[in-house]
Each structure stands twice: as C-alpha cells, then as structure tokens.
Amino acid sequence: MKKPQIVILLGSPGAGKGTQAELLSDKLNLYYLETSKLIEATVMKAKEGESIEVEGKEYSLTEEKKLWLAGVLCSPPFVSFLVKQKLNQLAEEGKGIVMAGSPRTLPEGKDQVPLLKKLYGAENIKVVLIELTPEQTIWRNSHRRICDLMRHPILYAEETEKLTHCPLDGSKLIKREGLDEPETIKVRLKEYKERTLPLVGYFTEEGLKVEKVNGEQSVEAVHQDILKSL
C-alpha cells in the first residue's frame, strides 16, 4: 500500500498558505492541519491560570494567549506539543496531511521532523516555500478578512472586494482583531525572517525536498505550481 504523504507549506503571513492548504486538502484528500487554529482554539478557550506541562515545564495558557494576541509566536515547546499530539492521532488514522504554519521555528522543526519521518518516511514528506516580497506581505495582510463563524480566510481580490458574508457558510466577514494591524504585521514579518526561514536549510540537511513557488500569482496559478512541484 502506498504510504500517505505529508506536504509542509512555508511562507510569510499572507502568502496564501491557508488557501493553498485548503485547495490541496480537497485535491489530494489530505487532512489540513492548521496550527494557528489549533493554537487559537486552545488559548481562546483556556481558563485563567490553566497550564500545560511539556517535558517537565509548565506553560501558562494565559501567557500563550497574550503572545498569540500580540502577533508574537507562542512558545515553541507548547506549539510542538499540540502539533505532535495531533500528528500521532492522524498517523494512526492513516491520513495524509497538509501542514500550513507548522513547523514555524527551528526548534519546532527539530522536534517535529524526526516524528514525521518516523510516522511517514522522509520520501513521503514534501516542503513547498511560497515566496512573497515584504511589500506584498504587508499589503495583503492589511486587506485580509475572515468569517465570523468558521474563520475561513478571505484573501483580498477583485472578486472578494465587495463581499460582506462568507460564501461557504453565510456568516459575517470581519477583520481579525489585533493580528492584521500594520504594526503587528511588521512584527510577524520580522519573526518570519528570523525564526521561520532558517527551517529551509534544516529541511534540506534532513534530506527533505524543498520546492519554491512564486506566491505573487493568482491563487489558481500558485495551486498549479504547487501540484507540479509535488
């Protein structure tokens, strides 16, 4: 039997990782593991004073929530704990996975890649880097909206400009509180350069194939380029 595959999408905030992950998930029947949703769901429902223990250290969910809302990356061990828990569950169910937004830092990568290799085999793991200029990153993020109900991302485009409700579930479109303000976006961009990009070198060292795709094209063109690269 052919082993299920893992696709890891990397790219700056607003590169369209979420949208592309959804498209790939439909096209290739992969489970879309969305780290930001996993984190958001965990910290937003956390009770005051609640914490999670990872390798003998306590991580306060209240503190992680503050980082999350400020646009700063949450503590890598905390994030990795949530992701690995989910990866084990998905592998057990025999599911292929597309990951967007995780691993997001070198420590997370070093923590997750050995597990991924063990569960799926290096030959079944593909990394795609969706490239976007800093100018495009800032512009795209300040124009982004999400739906109130399912938090579906709505990218800014001619077709979506006048949209007021989610085409998938009819709920109202809103701006994400805090995360998409210009100052927060600059913080996220800096974090991306300093903490996420070093992963590319690490993946290569680990024998994983990294493909680059131009993110400044239409959603469909980027999707086709990703399919070709796989």
Name the residues that contact Zn ion, by CB under 5 A.
147, 150, 152, 166, 168-169
Report the nearest approach of Zn ion to the CB of residue 37 (Å). Answer: 13
**Residue 72's CB: how many other CB atoms inside 10 A?**
13
Amino acid 220 reads E
Beta strands in 27-154 (DSSP E): 31-34, 51-54, 57-60, 97-100, 125-131, 145-147, 153-154
Strand, coil or helix: 129: strand
CB 115 within 8 A of CB 210: no
Amino acid 227 reads L
Q: Which residues contact 68 (CB under 8 A, 6 or more apart)?
A: 39, 40, 43, 74
State the DSSP H helix or E strand holding residue 211, giving kind and residue range, or none if neither.
Answer: strand 209-214
